[in-house]
Amino acid sequence: MQIATPNAPPVLSPATLPHLIDALVEQGWYLGEGVLDAGVCAALHAELCDRAERDALAAAGIGRGNEHALRRDIRGDAIHWLDRESQAQRRYLAAMGELQHALNQALFLGLFEYEAHFAHYPPGAFYRKHLDSFRGRANRVISTVGYLNPDWPEDGGGEMLIFAPDDPEREVARVRPAAGNFACFLSETVPHEVLPTRLPRASIAGWFRRNASLGGLVDPAR
């Protein structure tokens, strides 16, 4: 049971939950603008910038377990897995716990775990079009992205594009990585991409997982 800070507003406003669930069911993705608490975004942004300045981030790779590989031609961010170290992280994770509960109640998804990392994209970095999970390896079910950048200018770049599940060439939405914005989509079917950023770009990417360990095979967490 998460102990809430007295009088702290919820990080993800409860009023967004019904919209989020409807959008996931109808189109497979949800975008909310200004739905994350500004104070928590600012604290998380400061924490990530501090890590970036201290070189306390790891180059992000693709693939999990033994297949993990660094591919600068595919993604150029640097990451740090959330570890509950700060109050802001604990509040963000508590909000994702509430979201997990709401998704399980409404959609019977059996989500049992959430993993998330900070991501710092230096100028010029991007993440090519991809899916977050592959069919048949039922692990990541729902993806979330929370954006942390204050005052993102129109020409800042770094937008995330979402493509139609049934037509990966058709763009259906794009989100500016401005603080407060939040995206949520089906990990197995929704292609998405991060355009090259012009400014340092901060986000938290996270995934709700189902337990995918089968027949004694270990399912690597990351």
Ligand X SMILES: O=C(O)CCC(=O)C(=O)O
Q: Give the residues lining the site for ligand X (CB under 6 A).
A: 119, 127, 132, 145, 160, 192, 194, 203, 205
Q: Provide, rounded to whole angstroms, the least separation between the CB of residue 214 and Fe ion.
A: 24
In terms of CB distance, is 93 or 205 closer to ligand X?
Answer: 205
CA atoms lying within 13 Å on the CB side of residue 173: 21
Q: How far is the CB of 120 from ligand X (least distance, A)?
A: 10
Nearest CA among 15, 28, 4, 17 for reference residue 102:
17
Residues 117-146 that bind Fe ion (CB under 5 A): 132
Between CA 64 and CA 67 the distance in angstroms is: 5
Residue 89 vs 143, nearer CB to Fe ion: 143
Interacting partner of 12 out of Fe ion, ligand X, none (Cβ under 5 to 8 A depending on kind): none
Q: What, of ligand X, Fe ion, none, does residue 145 touch, CB below 5 to 8 Å by kind? A: ligand X
- C-alpha distance across the termini of the chain, in Å: 25
d(CA 2, CA 118): 21
Query: What does the alpha-carbon distance between residue 112 and residue 2 come to, in Å, rounded to a whole number?
Result: 16
Question: Which CB sits closer to ligand X, 142 or 160?
Answer: 160
Give whichever of 36 and 79 is closer to Fe ion, judged by the CB atom: 79
State the nearest-atom distance from the C-beta of 77 to ligand X, in Å.
Answer: 7
199 contacts 192 by C-beta, under 8 angstroms: no
According to the binding rule CB under 5 A, does residue 188 interact with Fe ion?
no
Does 37 bind Fe ion (CB under 5 A)? Our answer is no
* Cβ proximity to Fe ion, 43 vs 125, nearer residue: 125
SS3 116: strand
Which partner in Fe ion, ligand X, none is near 203 (CB below 5 to 8 A by kind)?
ligand X
Nearest to 176 by CA among 159, 153, 199, 157: 159
What does 160 interact with, of ligand X, Fe ion, none (CB < 5 to 8 A by kind)? ligand X
Contact 180, 36 (CB under 8 A): yes
Q: Name the residue among 213, 200, 210 with its Cα closest to residue 53.
A: 200
Q: What are the residues binding Fe ion (CB under 5 A)? A: 132
